[in-house]
């Protein structure tokens, strides 16, 4: 708002206050990141280290968790293992050391692909629809514009669980249940409200004069939109797209209820990575780590736009 | 706006002018046509995937339909609503939800606002640490919630050791998820851990929106730091804080993912939020009609409360 022309700060906090504030903030940051650090560490633990009593902070790192994540293994008697021809790969060796034989790849790759396809598919669609709609609301006199914008926002307020029942029935009827295209459409519908609100804010900030000049130069409305507005809105569109992608990537409830063997994404899959005799925590942690890393990178890339994204563009600075 | 009118006049096709060739077909589109063409697909999608299911849910809520049976929907009037509103268990689930929403928001506001005040002291490296603090809220509540079950394990999980170390308790002397008394707090802790950064970020925006000259004037008037906080900082951050509370209240009222994986409502039904009850009714007991009625009640509650809240928020903003 008015911080654009703030003069030199009037009441600088004293060095002691600053130092104290820094200490408290750093302490909070470190404590709040401990759970994430624990996930990352568990990914590199052996099964026994992961569930050691008391919990182990120092351990010998191993890739067992990742091998478990990507393969299906069967337990075999030790005699049987020793009779087999020697393992040809490092991951086979890792499994054999624990009397396991790799039977084949696990389903995690399919799930990861589903997450990617559904995530990117819905992001592209939602951003495309959102850009067009936001432009129309930003530049044209649309009757009942405020009501329509509010309607778009209110669709986001619906509890996913509440609409899941009829969507489930509708999808069953239309053959969209447990299909990637069904999930893409659903996530697009959820994301488009965010996309419209964010992009309207971004497009509102582009001065109209540029387009008006282009129109005078003989551009049509659509040409002006494509050649003048879109290039100016590119940062906003990218930020919006990343927000949509993060939502689709993280979504759990709809995918849990509306998909099964075909269209399942990572979030409903990860908790059910079961090893011999219970949850295989290193494998779960390995899957979780691989799943979270892209989001961490995106969050850092997005940090300037985060505020806007999480408030539907209501708070901008 | 007159700007739109002007540009519309300019954009009107005049065939004699040198309109670039490829665009000729579209050049005949009026601004109004473009506006509707750009808005219609979004509206269609929202109507098909949001509004239509909602209307259908309302219709189903007056039937005894069960989605796993081929029987046609039988009209039962308001029976489902009567059943729900007179069911003591449902009220208990609403109480569990209220406990969760209240405490998680109270903690988020306290810690989040506190952190924002601290970060606003602009010590060296504050933006780096701010970004780190923001990480938990961007992650998948389901995937992270699932992992917290390991962290909360009484003997093999680090949480009890961490708390035990600072509180002087034996780490295996208490269980978080398994205990009737502590389980409701586990979901509060994880949700607060996740969403405090959200409140913090919005409060920080509020703090940064306060113009420096107001503090300068207060300083000239020799107002104490304490007084400045109560008369300047707090009132000016309040609209931002209220906005954060609105978003978080809706979100935690609808909370499903994290709780479903962390406690799935247990032990007993001590952490059974309404959304968990709804999922069970709809997808485990297949009481579609009943679940639809509960969904409608949930939706009306959220929408009604949000509307009232926004009115209050607008009043605060005007002051």
Give the separation between CA A85 and CA A69, rounded to whole angstroms.
Answer: 24
**Rounded mean pLDDT, B245-251:** 92
For residue B16, pLDDT beyond 60: no
Chain A nearest-CA residue for B282: A165
Residue-level pLDDT at B9? 42
Please provide the CATH number assigned to the domain covering B80-318: 1.10.3720.10
Are A35 and B148 within 8 A, CB to CB?
yes
User: Which H/E stretch holds residue B30?
Assistant: none
- Give the residue carrying structure tokens 């709804």: B278
Residue-level pLDDT at A1? 42
For residue A3, pLDDT beyond 50: no
Residue-level pLDDT at B266? 80
**Rounded mean pLDDT, A119-137:** 96
Tokens of B281: 């009714």
Chain B nearest-CA residue for A288: B143
Give the separation between CA A229 and CA A252, rounded to whole angstroms.
Answer: 35
Sign of the torsion angle spanned by Cα atoms A242, A247, A248, A249: positive
For residue B3, pLDDT beyond 80: no
Backbone angles phi, psi at A278, to 5 degrees: 110, -170
Asked if A36's CB is within 8 angstroms of B50's CB, the reply is no
- B122 CB neighbours in chain A (<8 A) are 13, 18
Predicted confidence band of residue B246 (pLDDT cuts 50, 70, 90): very high
Give the separation between CA A23 and CA A25, rounded to whole angstroms.
Answer: 6
- A249 CB neighbours in chain B (<8 A) are 140
Residues of chain A with pLDDT > 70, as a percent, come to: 95
- Chain B closest-CA separation from residue A158 CA (Å): 6
Chain A nearest-CA residue for B40: A133
Beta strands A100-105 and A71-75 are antiparallel
- A212 CB neighbours in chain B (<8 A) are 3, 6-7, 10
Give the separation between CA A223 and CA A240, rounded to whole angstroms.
Answer: 23
Asked if B219's CB is within 8 angstroms of A193's CB, the reply is no
Asked if A222's CB is within 8 angstroms of B26's CB, the reply is yes
Residue-level pLDDT at B5? 41
Task: Name the residue facing A192 among B23, B45, B134 (closest C-beta).
Answer: B45
Question: Is the pLDDT higher at A100 or at B98?
Answer: B98
- Collect all residues with Cβ–Cβ distance below 8 Å to A236 and sequence separation of at least 6: A198, A199, A201, A202, A203, A205
For residue A45, pLDDT beyond 80: yes
Nearest Cα neighbor of A165 from A257, A55, A249 is: A257
- A186 CB neighbours in chain B (<8 A) are 49
Task: Name the residue facing B42 among A24, A38, A133 (closest C-beta).
Answer: A133
Task: Name the residue facing A288 among B19, B39, B143 (closest C-beta).
Answer: B143
Residue-level pLDDT at B14? 45
Residue-level pLDDT at A277? 64
Structural domains in chain A plus CATH codes = 61-106 (no CATH), 109-265 (1.10.3720.10)
Task: Name the residue facing A29 among B41, B121, B133 (closest C-beta).
Answer: B133
Asked if B56's CB is within 8 angstroms of A281's CB, the reply is no
Residue-level pLDDT at B278? 93
Q: What is the pLDDT of residues A93-112, one digit of tens each?
A: 888 888 888 888 888 999 99
Length of chain B: 319
Q: What is the pLDDT of residues B129-144, one digit of tens each?
A: 999 999 999 999 999 8
User: Which H/E stretch holds residue A278?
Assistant: strand A278-279
- A314 CB neighbours in chain B (<8 A) are 243
For residue A7, pLDDT beyond 50: no
**Rounded mean pLDDT, A132-146:** 92
For residue A194, pLDDT beyond 80: yes
Task: Name the residue facing B60 among A6, A166, A306 (closest C-beta).
Answer: A166
Residue-level pLDDT at A317? 62
Predicted confidence band of residue B41 (pLDDT cuts 50, 70, 90): very high
- B17 CB neighbours in chain A (<8 A) are 218
Question: Is the pLDDT higher at A260 or at B27?
Answer: A260
Asked if B136's CB is within 8 angstroms of A32's CB, the reply is yes
- A165 CB neighbours in chain B (<8 A) are 53, 57, 60, 67, 282, 288, 291-292, 295
Query: Mean of the per-residue pLDDT values for chain A?
Result: 88
Asked if A159's CB is within 8 angstroms of B131's CB, the reply is no
For residue B70, pLDDT beyond 80: no
**Rounded mean pLDDT, A37-44:** 94
- Exposed, middle or buried by CB within 10 Å (0-12, 13-18, 19+), for A89? exposed
**Which of A162, A190, A313 has the highest number of chain B CBs within 10 A, making it the mutation to test binding with B?**
A162
Give the separation between CA B290 and CA B61, rounded to whole angstroms.
Answer: 6
Sign of the torsion angle spanned by Cα atoms B285, B290, B291, B294: negative
DSSP string, B58-94: HHHTTB---TTS-SPPPB-TTHHHHHHHT-HHHHHHH
Residues of chain B with pLDDT > 70, as a percent, come to: 91
Chain A nearest-CA residue for B111: A28
Task: Name the residue facing A215 among B7, B43, B219 (closest C-beta).
Answer: B7
Residue-level pLDDT at A155? 86
DSSP label at residue B51: I
Sign of the torsion angle spanned by Cα atoms B173, B178, B184, B188: positive
Residue-level pLDDT at B1? 38
- B5 CB neighbours in chain A (<8 A) are 141
Residue-level pLDDT at A252? 93
Tell me chain B's radius of gyration from C-alpha atoms.
26
Q: What is the pLDDT of residues B259-317, one digit of tens each?
A: 999 998 889 889 999 999 999 999 999 998 999 999 999 989 988 998 899 899 888 88
Residue-level pLDDT at A8? 44
Give the separation between CA A94 and CA A161, rounded to whole angstroms.
Answer: 42
Q: What is the pLDDT of residues B20-38, one digit of tens each?
A: 555 455 556 788 889 999 9
- Chain B closest-CA separation from residue A197 CA (Å): 12
- A112 CB neighbours in chain B (<8 A) are none
User: Looking at this predicted complex, what is its ipTM?
Assistant: 0.88
Q: What is the pLDDT of residues B110-132, one digit of tens each?
A: 999 999 999 998 888 988 999 99
Task: Name the residue facing B288 among A2, A165, A285 (closest C-beta).
Answer: A165
Q: What is the pLDDT of residues A53-93, one digit of tens each?
A: 888 888 989 998 899 899 888 888 888 888 888 888 888 88
Asked if A292's CB is within 8 angstroms of B140's CB, the reply is yes
Residue-level pLDDT at A11? 59
Task: Name the residue facing A157 among B37, B129, B250 (closest C-beta).
Answer: B250
Question: Is the pLDDT higher at A76 or at A148?
Answer: A148
Give the separation between CA B51 and CA B56, rounded to whole angstroms.
Answer: 8
Q: Is the peptide bond before B132 cis (omega within 30 degrees of 0)?
A: no
- B7 CB neighbours in chain A (<8 A) are 139, 208, 211-212, 215, 221
> What residues does each domain of chain B span?
2-60, 80-318
- Chain A closest-CA separation from residue B72 CA (Å): 13
Asked if A34's CB is within 8 angstroms of B158's CB, the reply is yes
Residue-level pLDDT at A90? 85
Are A198 and A239 within 8 A, CB to CB?
yes
Query: Mean of the per-residue pLDDT values for chain B?
Result: 87
Asked if B143's CB is within 8 angstroms of A267's CB, the reply is yes
For residue B97, pLDDT beyond 90: yes
């Amino acid at each position: 708002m008015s911080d654009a022309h703030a003069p030199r700060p009037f009441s600088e906090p004293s060095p002691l206050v600053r130092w104290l504030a820094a200490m408290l903030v750093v302490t909070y940051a470190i404590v709040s990141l401990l759970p994430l650090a624990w996930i990352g560490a568990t990914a590199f633990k052996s099964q026994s280290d992961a569930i050691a009593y008391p919990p182990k902070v120092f351990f010998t790192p191993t890739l067992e968790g990742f091998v478990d994540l990507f393969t299906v293994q069967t337990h075999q008697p030790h005699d049987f293992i020793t009779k087999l021809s020697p393992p040809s790969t490092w991951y086979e060796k890792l499994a054999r050391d624990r009397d396991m034989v790799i039977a084949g790849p696990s389903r995690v790759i399919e799930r990861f692909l589903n997450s990617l396809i559904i995530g990117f598919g819905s992001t592209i669609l939602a951003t495309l629809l959102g850009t067009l709609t936001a432009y129309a609301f930003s530049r044209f006199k649309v009757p009942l514009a405020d009501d329509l914008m509010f309607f778009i926002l209110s669709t986001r307020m619906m509890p996913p669980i509440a609409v899941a029942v009829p969507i489930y029935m509708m999808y069953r009827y239309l053959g969209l249940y447990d299909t990637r295209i069904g999930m893409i459409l659903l996530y697009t519908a959820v994301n488009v409200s965010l996309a419209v609100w964010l992009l309207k804010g971004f497009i509102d900030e582009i001065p109209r004069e540029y387009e008006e000049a282009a129109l005078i130069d003989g551009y049509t409305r659509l040409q002006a939109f494509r050649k003048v507005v879109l290039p100016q809105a590119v940062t906003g569109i990218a930020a919006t797209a990343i927000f949509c992608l993060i939502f689709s990537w993280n979504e759990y409830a709809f995918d849990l209820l509306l998909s099964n063997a075909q269209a399942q994404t990572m979030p409903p899959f990860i908790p059910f990575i079961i090893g011999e005799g219970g949850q295989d925590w290193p494998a779960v942690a390995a899957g979780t780590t691989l799943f979270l890393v892209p989001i961490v990178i995106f969050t850092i890339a997005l940090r300037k736009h985060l505020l806007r994204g999480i408030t539907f563009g209501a708070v901008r600075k | 706006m007159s700007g739109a009118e002007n540009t519309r006049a300019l954009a009107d096709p005049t065939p004699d002018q040198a309109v670039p060739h490829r665009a000729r077909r579209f050049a005949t589109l009026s601004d109004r046509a473009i506006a509707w063409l750009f808005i219609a697909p979004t509206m269609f999608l929202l109507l098909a995937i949001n509004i239509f299911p909602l209307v259908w849910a309302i219709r189903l809520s007056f039937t005894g339909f069960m989605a796993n049976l081929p029987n046609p929907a039988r009209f039962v009037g308001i029976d489902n609503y009567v059943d729900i509103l007179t069911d003591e268990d449902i009220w208990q689930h609403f109480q569990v939800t209220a406990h969760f929403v209240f405490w998680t928001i109270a903690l988020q506001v306290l810690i989040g606002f506190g952190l924002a005040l601290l970060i606003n002291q602009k010590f060296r490296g504050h933006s780096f640490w701010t970004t780190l603090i923001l990480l938990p809220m961007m992650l998948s509540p389901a995937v992270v919630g699932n992992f917290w079950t390991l962290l909360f394990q009484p003997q093999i999980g680090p949480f009890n050791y961490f708390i035990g170390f600072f509180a002087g308790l034996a780490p295996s002397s208490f269980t978080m998820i398994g205990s009737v008394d502590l389980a409701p707090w586990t979901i509060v802790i994880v949700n607060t851990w996740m969403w405090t950064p959200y409140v913090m970020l919005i409060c920080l925006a509020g703090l940064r929106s306060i113009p420096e000259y107001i503090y300068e004037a207060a300083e000239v008037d020799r107002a104490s730091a304490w007084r400045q906080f109560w008369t300047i900082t707090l009132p000016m951050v309040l609209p931002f804080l209220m906005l954060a509370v609105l978003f978080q209240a809706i979100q935690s009222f609808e909370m499903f993912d994290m709780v479903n994986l962390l406690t799935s409502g247990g032990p007993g039904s001590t952490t059974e939020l309404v959304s968990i009850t709804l999922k069970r009714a709809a997808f485990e007991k297949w009481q579609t009609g009943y679940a639809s009625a509960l969904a409608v009640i949930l939706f009306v509650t959220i929408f009604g409360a949000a509307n009232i809240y926004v009115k209050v928020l607008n009043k605060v903003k005007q002051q």
